[in-house]
């Protein structure tokens, strides 16, 4: 009897894990099998045509890449600087506890709230208008807590002896960080940054009102222009288009490209972490 209950119990745990795998497998299978049929070189390199019922998604890909670059330039330096402070300088006092609490809570702020903040502060307050810059900064804020957390983790994994070695040779604290701590943490920082950016690239809510456009005939010529983006393109192709059933294959194709984009970044991060883990076990 006890064996019977144990058998049922353990297998129900196994079943729940299988169910989770099934969800992932199903989503991937559906998008990759149905999106695969529209995928071609011209789908990736063409502009949308005929009211977006034909053609490709090139401007959406370019827009996502561009806005992610702005996010990178903003979030990575600030994120790394804040993480260096928390990992190398911060003692356990109320200011630093407040900083840590703020970062943890920033990570839990809903993405649409970042969108509201972007509208009020970047688009309106600073007068950037709906633009690549306003969207990139908004996504940067969203990514910041993630970059800080992963970078701090990476810095903490650098052995203490590396710091002490530099200090013993007469280096200042900053010199020891620059020459010994940061280089040792690079793989971890890069992994975290890639994962943070892959999230930013897939976000829709923060860019809805800060610069993304339904359809543009030209690529943005600078960071003050509006842009098209992959996640937003998927959103309009599946809910806002006037002929939703007709463009469904194109929506699947867009979903496929978006997922591939995010997964490639994730696999890249995974490989860097994997390679580094095997190397640095001294």
156 touches 87 (CB < 8 A): yes
Name residues contacting another protein, limited to 218-247 (CB under 8 A).
231-232, 234-235, 238-239
Minimum gap (Å) between residue 164 Cβ and another protein: 17
Q: Where are the alpha helices (DSSP H) in the chain?
A: 2-35, 41-45, 58-84, 94-107, 111-117, 132-156, 160-168, 173-176, 182-202, 230-235, 248-279
| 100 versus 222: smaller Cβ distance to another protein | 100
b/e code 19-40 from CB counts within 10 Å (16+ = b): eeeeeeeeeeeebeebbeebbe
Name residues contacting another protein, limited to 35-74 (CB under 8 A).
none
Task: Give the number of C-alpha atoms closer than 13 A to the C-alpha of residue 178, restricted to the C-beta side.
Answer: 5
Minimum gap (Å) between residue 109 Cβ and another protein: 6
| 203 versus 225: smaller Cβ distance to another protein | 203
Name residues contacting another protein, limited to 106-145 (CB under 8 A).
106, 108-117, 119-121, 124, 141, 144-145
With CB under 8 A as the contact rule, which of the stretches 44-52, 78-86, 156-164, 183-191 interacts with another protein? 78-86
Name residues contacting another protein, limited to 156-195 (CB under 8 A).
172-175, 177, 195
- Choose, by CB under 8 A, the member of 132, 155, 182, 255 that binds another protein: 255
Binding status of residue 208 toward another protein by CB under 8 A: yes
Which two tokens mark 81? Answer: 């600087």
Binding status of residue 278 toward another protein by CB under 8 A: no
131 touches 211 (CB < 8 A): yes
């Amino acid at each position: 009897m006890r064996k019977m209950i144990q058998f049922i119990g353990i297998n129900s745990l196994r079943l729940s894990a299988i169910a989770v795998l099934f969800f992932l497998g199903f989503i991937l299978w559906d998008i990759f099998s149905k999106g695969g049929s529209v995928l071609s070189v011209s789908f990736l390199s063409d502009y949308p045509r005929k009211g977006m019922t034909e053609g490709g998604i090139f401007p959406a890909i370019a827009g996502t890449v561009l806005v992610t670059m702005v996010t990178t330039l903003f979030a990575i330096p600030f994120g790394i600087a804040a993480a260096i402070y928390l990992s190398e300088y911060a003692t356990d006092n109320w200011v630093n506890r407040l900083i840590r609490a703020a970062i943890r809570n920033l990570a839990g702020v809903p993405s649409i709230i970042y969108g509201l903040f972007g509208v009020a502060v970047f688009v309106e307050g600073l007068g950037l208008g709906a633009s690549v810059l306003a969207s990139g900064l908004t996504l940067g804020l969203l990514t910041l807590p993630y970059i800080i957390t992963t970078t701090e983790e990476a810095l903490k994994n650098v052995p203490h002896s590396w710091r002490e070695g530099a200090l013993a040779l007469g280096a200042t604290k900053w010199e020891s960080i620059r020459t010994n701590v940061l280089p040792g943490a690079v793989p971890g920082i890069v992994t975290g940054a890639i994962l943070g950016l892959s999230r930013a690239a897939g976000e829709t809510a923060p860019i809805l009102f800060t610069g993304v456009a339904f359809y543009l005939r030209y690529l943005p010529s600078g960071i003050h222009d509006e842009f098209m983006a992959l996640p937003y393109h998927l959103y309009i192709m599946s809910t806002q288009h006037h002929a939703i059933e007709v463009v469904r294959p194109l929506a699947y194709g867009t979903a496929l490209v978006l997922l591939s984009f995010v997964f490639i970044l994730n696999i890249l991060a995974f490989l860097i972490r994997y390679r580094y883990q095997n190397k640095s076990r001294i």
